[in-house]
Structure 1
Amino acid sequence: MPLEKKLIDIILTNEHVIEELKLVRGLELPDCWIAAGYVRNYVWDAAHGYKERTILNDVDIIYFDSSDLSVTIEVEAEKKLQEQKPHYNWSVKNQARMHIRNESLPYTSTMDAMRYWPETATAAAICMDGDDHIHILAPQGLEDLLELKIRKSKFFKDKSYFLKRIKSKKWLEIWPMLQLLEDE
């Protein structure tokens, strides 16, 4: 089974995920996705057979709009999402300006920005189009995510930060089947 289909099949098992994809679609932001821990944790929870989702620190909504780098749209989108789903800490970020925070060259798209995320398994995003088809964005591929491997992205340079993230988030404790690949 192709990896994208496998991920979509996992997503389709939860009506709340479908509802949240539709909610984010309603923001009508360009190149917009639910990403990072929302996707990663859900896949890892499913692989571990957890009946309840692991609590999320936040829900990352990413989009790309180089024509408007202000935070106003992000704040308005977060407020709209919070009103509809107040139990989440929504985080909406325009990837067209994240290069400034990351001290790198400007990104060209959401996919380009995701390449620089710390872990390959975190660099996965989902969205739903107007015909209710789910799409996957995974510039590092889906193998590590679906095979429960934690690996530093080759584009992310700070190995100590990568290792601190894993430890501080207690991933290996929460999901004991994960395999940390440090020396790759």
Structure 2
Amino acid sequence: MTNPDSTDITESEARLAVSRMLTEDLYRMQCLTALKALNLPQGYLAAGFLRNAIWDELHGYKKATPLNDIDVIYFNPSDTSKDTELNIERALTSQVPSAHWQVKNQARMHLNHGHNVYKDCEEAISYWVEKETCVAIRLCPNEGNDTFDILAPYGLSSNFAGTISINPRHPRDDVFTQRVKAKNWLVTWPQLTLGSALIRSI
């Protein structure tokens, strides 16, 4: 999918493309399988896990860009202990020791931003800094290891368009600018463009 007509890709086409990409990525499949084994409530691999895979695909990279960490999200309002998150990290590390797991229960993350309580993982990630980062994926709990469940509150079109856009629902211009610079995205993926997403409403 190098240099695709990505602005015209439909949501269903984008999801099919993601399924193919992930199925062909042995490391990501290993991580997804490890997460599935824990059967966490609304357990997903989020943010760069999927976002970066799409950007690699757009650039035609034959080797995946290394992941600094793997963000695991889940939703359990009955146990918001950070110790539980650490225990989950240890369980995942025992399965995939090469991964740097970072686990966060989204049932407590509203406190970080002074928001009302989130109702589920999809609402929680809908507040993340960039639209393209508001994505998560898992293997469907009651299916084989070739069926994916994707959360994308803003869809996947901007990911496949190769843009980096401020989240219109919760815009934080200064944080956005700092993250783009610190994470070096435009160097790692030079075909990306900054989206014109300074929109205050959706």
| Structure 1 segment 1-184 matched on structure 2, within 5 A | 2=12, 3-129=14-140, 130-132=142-144, 133-184=147-198
Question: C-alpha offsets along residues 112-171 of structure 1, whole Å, 9 cap, x if unaligned?
Answer: 001100011111111002312111110111011111111111122311111110111000
CA distance in 2 between partners of 1:124 and 1:71 (Å): 23
Runs of 4+ with deviation above 6 angstroms: none
CA distance in 2 between partners of 1:88 and 1:16 (Å): 9
CA distance in 2 between partners of 1:21 and 1:27 (Å): 10
More displaced 10-residue stretch of structure 1: 78-87 or 11-20: 11-20
Query: Aligned letter for 1:6?
Result: A
CA distance in 1 between partners of 2:179 and 2:69 (Å): 15
Mapped contact 2:168–2:197 kept (Cα < 8 A)? no
CA distance in 1 between partners of 2:164 and 2:99 (Å): 25
CA distance in 2 between partners of 1:62 and 1:109 (Å): 10
State the TM-score, normalizing by the size of structure 1: 0.94
CA distance in 2 between partners of 1:141 and 1:91 (Å): 24
Number of equivalenced pairs:
184
CA distance in 1 between partners of 2:73 and 2:154 (Å): 17
Post-superposition offset of 1:182: 4.1
Percent identity between the two aligned chains: 35
CA distance in 2 between partners of 1:53 and 1:154 (Å): 29
C-alpha RMSD over aligned residues: 1.3
SS in 2 for 1:16: helix
SS in 1 for 2:132: coil
SS in 2 for 1:60: strand
Extract unaligned runs of 5+ from structure 1: none
Query: Aligned letter for 1:131?
Result: E
Extract unaligned runs of 5+ from structure 2: 1-9
